[in-house]
Structure 1
Amino acid sequence: MKDSSSVNQLATTLRKELDRYSEGEKLPSSRALVTRHQVSPVTVSRAIAALAAEGLVTSRPGAGVFKAAARRHTGALGDVSWQEVALSADPPHAAIDAGPRGTDAAGVLATLTAPPPEVIDLNGGYLHAALQPERALAAALARAGRRPGTWSRPPVEGLAELRDWFARDIGGPAGPLDASDVLITAGGQGALTTALRALAAPGSAVLVESPTYPGMLAVARAAGLRPVPVPVDADGVRTDLLAEAFAATRARVFVCQPLFHNPTGAVLSAQRRPDVLAVARASGAFVVEDDFARRLAHADAPALPLPLAADDPDGVVVHVRSLTKAASPSLRIGALTARGPALERLRAIQVVDSFFVPRPLQETALELVGSPAWTRHLRVLSAALRERRTALLTALGSALPTLLPQQPPRGGYHLWLRLPDGTDEHAVTATALRHGVAVTAGGPYFTAEAPAPHLRLSYVSASGTAQLEEGVGRLHRALAENSALPA
């Protein structure tokens, strides 16, 4: 954290000093900057790189660093009104056959947009730097860089060793899966995009849990699909309603998160697990199992159920697994697992979209998961998640006891809070931001009108438990200002 702060401070200073330089004028040498600002050569190098990325300086090997020429506007914006027609004028049959092509990324951007430094982040979906295995990642990256062939082209399906690791991680050492059933993807979001595009025809219905992850809804709608909600309760998806939804829509895909569901935290009960597979099989449909939270179990979690894919010899389940949530937002490595002809369809879609996942990233992931540091990290992370969940629940119990969830999850990274009827959740989130805390409104997690107002609070993007406690205090003040607290 200190290194990052020093780089930012030096970059800010140099940015101001550039005003005194003419275009093309040479800046002081790195050695001179080290002496003048009392920083390390690495800090100078990174600050210069930041300025170069902004287009403010240019670096010429052997010559030095120079102030870049100012960017000059090339003229007024032309008439782009034609795009309004081009982006909307689908053929007459498109409304029936393909559905709307618009992409609503609001729900995704809400969790990707970093708030200002003074705002406590109870919104984000990725581990704070304090929770990431930075040393293990750096070591894995260094080892990967020394592997022969790291910069050569990988197989389009992914490295065989990494595919084999995912197969064993998902199905167990003696499970039904092997490396030939796995495709390496660019993270979980990329896997979901490939799965929905491959398995459902444009214009068709896709069954989703209600509420559900907004990023999946965005993927479905961008593919021209119609998300149809199936309600979730404390035991996971309502399988009686799932059967009715398949019969009513003739859908061929159901997307679910059986473990630590986002946003409710529910775990699909043992009684319903076989029902999900039986209902889908009877309907001739696939189950896309988004197993995003398996490596986010808390230290006090009971034994985890196996993935649905581990109990499926018939190829009903298409499994999605990612390393990103448990490691780093930049380690965008995931896996799609399928059996039968569906795998070839998934492979074809992925190859057309992206060719392959960069080999250096795959090699880094392979080095990481094969090291003792990965097991240690998961153990430390598990304890930290329990500590943060407990701190957040304790703070809520003190300041906002009526909002406490009845069954706090023992996995994942968020709490799902039911607000009083009539509460304007969007007004609450806006007021909370003014008070210095970022939280997520529940509306984007529903495919249509939400049955009740909710907030989702994440506890992995804050710096620690003290910030979580302070964030709840700020949220309390925001709710009071919006008259959203029970009398």
Structure 2
Amino acid sequence: MSDSSTSTELAARLREMVAGLAPGDRLPSSRELIKRYRVGPATVARAISALAAEGAVVTRPGSGTYAAVRGRPEAEPVDTAWQTVALTDRAVETRLIAEPLAPAPADTITMDGGYIHRSLQPTRALSAALARAARRPDAWDRATASGLPALRAVFAEIVGGGVTPDDVLVTSGGQSALSIAFRAIAGPGSPVLVESPSYPGALAAAGAAGLRPVPVPLDAEGVRPDLLADAFTMTGARLLYCQPTFHNPTGTVLSPERRRQVLRVARAAGAFVIEDDFARHLGHGGPVLRPLVADDGDATVVHVTSLTKPAAPSLRIGALVARGPVMERMRAVRMVDDFFVTRPLQEAALELLSAPSWDRHVRTLGADLRERCSRLAAALSREMPTATVTSVPAGGLHLWLRLPPGVDDTALTAAARQRGVAVSAGTRYFATEPPAAHLRLGFAATADHAELDEGARRLGAALRDLGPREQ
């Protein structure tokens, strides 16, 4: 072969050579190929690269080039039936947190999500915070199990009420915090009282921990203390999960008097209260009540907070706040789970919270959410006059819509998907049978106000699709 021969011709020769080799056999060295085929080093390199891209050979720097393992005939299906017996009955239920329907088409209007749209995220501030965090000389060092002291101090300051950094445990978002708290506080088979309706992610986490959710109704002022006391007495529960501020899905805020009553009832029952404060930074511009833990003098409250909702889905940083042995138990659970939260993300969260732009973002986000909430409520009133928005919340990301009698929420959810709008069936938010059919409608995940109007129009059309009997 002359020096003008192409790498394509050499690749063809080598392909023939590889066909006669056994998998793992070594090809001649580059020096030998240059000599044998009288070509240059670049030609050999290009030919070898072509064969490697095809999967015919495997190159190992410093060792050589080897014939790749050829495709094997399709194996017989593996019999995994034995696993059904070995795994017993500890199934982890994801139905509540994963829609059973197929992924929506690309042009579907998203009103079933729990995160803010990209246009509402502090993208520039997040990028700058991550860049500054990455430049720290110790950015990739191990973090302590409790989290960076400076970040714990910021969370303690946000909570207030005498909470110290030692009372804070940094977690990988709010869902991780709930999982840790449920497993640390109550044993499998124990009852846990929950508001009805409640957050499906909490119901799923409680179920995965082996707990039995017991619903306690709420009204316009939040969970009812009288029924809460009865539930503690009847079940012997030692744990309550609640969302006192901008409850998901109803948007309800637990009134000041009831906050005091709930703490008294829980303390009398010798029970813990898990306070899910996910919406602390999602107020629509008005005052936001102090968290329960800030006024808890008996270490009854285990407080959960997160930066994911007001910032971005992938900022998986949250915190647990508690005092006493329960904090040691939760710290031990998290160490067994994953040792600590990745340090660069903690550093980025600290940079974000410490920058002046964070407070500006929260104020701007609140104004945007208020406008979106009002816009959707008006559109629903116009497009779905037979349905009822239970209340227009002062914070959060959702509206809770009560459907007219006779309408099945899951059927309407499917019909809406056919119309190109994704919504959440209210059934998912109840631990037992729902008293009425509802939908949870998000107003923060759409691109703009026009999408909210169009989403309400499509949803109204879907309701009419179900026919006169459903209306």
Q: Normalising to structure 1: TM-score of the pair?
A: 0.81
Given candidates 303, 327, 332, the residue that maps to 1:319 is 303
Which residue is 1:335 aligned to?
Answer: 319
Instruction: Check whether the contact 2:406–2:469 (CA below 8 A) recurs between aligned residues.
Output: no
- Does 2:244 match 1:258? yes
Bigger radius of gyration: 2
Instruction: Check whether the contact 1:203–1:224 (CA below 8 A) recurs between aligned residues.
Output: yes
SS at match of 1:451: coil
Instruction: Check whether the contact 1:164–1:179 (CA below 8 A) recurs between aligned residues.
Output: yes
**Which amino acid in the other structure matches residue 119 of structure 1?**
T
Which residue is 1:297 aligned to?
Answer: 283
SS at match of 2:281: helix
Given candidates 209, 228, 232, the residue that maps to 1:223 is 209
Give the C-alpha shift of residue 448 in structure 1.
1.2
- Does 2:82 match 1:82? yes
Structure 1 residues 229-238 or 102-111, which shifts more? 102-111
Instruction: Name structure 1 gaps, 5 residues minimum.
Output: 1-21, 26-54, 62-67, 89-99
What is the percent sequence identity of the aligned residues? 55
Residues 209 and 111 (structure 1), Cα distance of their counterparts in 2 relative to 1, 3 Å cut:
farther
Which residue is 1:134 aligned to?
Answer: 123
**Which amino acid in the other structure matches residue 206 of structure 1?**
V
Instruction: Name structure 2 gaps, 5 residues minimum.
Output: 1-11, 16-54, 62-67
Post-superposition CA distance 1:19-43 (Å, at most 9, x none): xxx9x99xxxxxxxxxxxxxxxxxx
Large movers: runs of 4+ above 6 Å = 68-73, 111-114, 484-487
SS at match of 1:255: strand
SS at match of 2:140: coil
SS at match of 2:142: coil
Give the C-alpha shift of residue 79 in structure 1.
0.7
User: What is the rounded CA distance, in whole Å, between the counterparts of 2:121 and 2:180 in structure 1?
Assistant: 27
Which residue is 1:398 aligned to?
Answer: 382
User: What is the rounded CA distance, in whole Å, between the counterparts of 2:166 and 2:377 in structure 1?
Assistant: 44
- Does 2:192 match 1:203? no
Aligned length: 412
Residues 116 and 86 (structure 1), Cα distance of their counterparts in 2 relative to 1, 3 Å cut:
same
Residues 81 and 111 (structure 1), Cα distance of their counterparts in 2 relative to 1, 3 Å cut:
closer
Give the C-alpha shift of residue 405 in structure 1.
1.8
**Which amino acid in the other structure matches residue 146 of structure 2?**
E
Which residue is 1:102 aligned to?
Answer: 91
**Which amino acid in the other structure matches residue 155 of structure 2?**
F
**Which amino acid in the other structure matches residue 123 of structure 2?**
E
Instruction: Check whether the contact 1:111–1:125 (CA below 8 A) recurs between aligned residues.
Output: no
- Does 2:466 match 1:466? no
User: What is the rounded CA distance, in whole Å, between the counterparts of 2:196 and 2:370 in structure 1?
Assistant: 26
Instruction: Check whether the contact 2:407–2:470 (CA below 8 A) recurs between aligned residues.
Output: no
Instruction: Check whether the contact 2:266–2:300 (CA below 8 A) recurs between aligned residues.
Output: yes
Post-superposition CA distance 1:95-126 (Å, at most 9, x none): xxxxx522221221239996332110000001
User: What is the rounded CA distance, in whole Å, between the counterparts of 1:259 and 1:399 in structure 2?
Assistant: 29
- Does 2:127 match 1:147? no
Instruction: Check whether the contact 1:405–1:416 (CA below 8 A) recurs between aligned residues.
Output: yes
Instruction: Check whether the contact 2:222–2:244 (CA below 8 A) recurs between aligned residues.
Output: yes
Residues 103 and 447 (structure 1), Cα distance of their counterparts in 2 relative to 1, 3 Å cut:
same
Which residue is 2:227 aligned to?
Answer: 241
Residues 292 and 280 (structure 1), Cα distance of their counterparts in 2 relative to 1, 3 Å cut:
same
Instruction: Check whether the contact 2:399–2:440 (CA below 8 A) recurs between aligned residues.
Output: yes
Instruction: Check whether the contact 2:408–2:470 (CA below 8 A) recurs between aligned residues.
Output: no
Give the C-alpha shift of residue 354 in structure 1.
1.3
User: What is the rounded CA distance, in whole Å, between the counterparts of 2:429 and 2:254 in structure 1?
Assistant: 18
- Does 2:334 match 1:350? yes
Instruction: Check whether the contact 2:206–2:213 (CA below 8 A) recurs between aligned residues.
Output: yes
Which residue is 1:378 aligned to?
Answer: 362
Residues 178 and 376 (structure 1), Cα distance of their counterparts in 2 relative to 1, 3 Å cut:
same
- Does 2:168 match 1:182? yes
SS at match of 1:163: helix
Instruction: Check whether the contact 1:126–1:328 (CA below 8 A) recurs between aligned residues.
Output: yes
- Does 2:102 match 1:118? no
Residues 70 and 257 (structure 1), Cα distance of their counterparts in 2 relative to 1, 3 Å cut:
farther
Give the C-alpha shift of residue 156 in structure 1.
0.9
Structure 1 residues 361-370 or 106-115, which shifts more? 106-115
Which residue is 2:36 aligned to?
Answer: none
Instruction: Check whether the contact 1:208–1:230 (CA below 8 A) recurs between aligned residues.
Output: yes
User: What is the rounded CA distance, in whole Å, between the counterparts of 1:445 and 1:406 in structure 2?
Assistant: 15
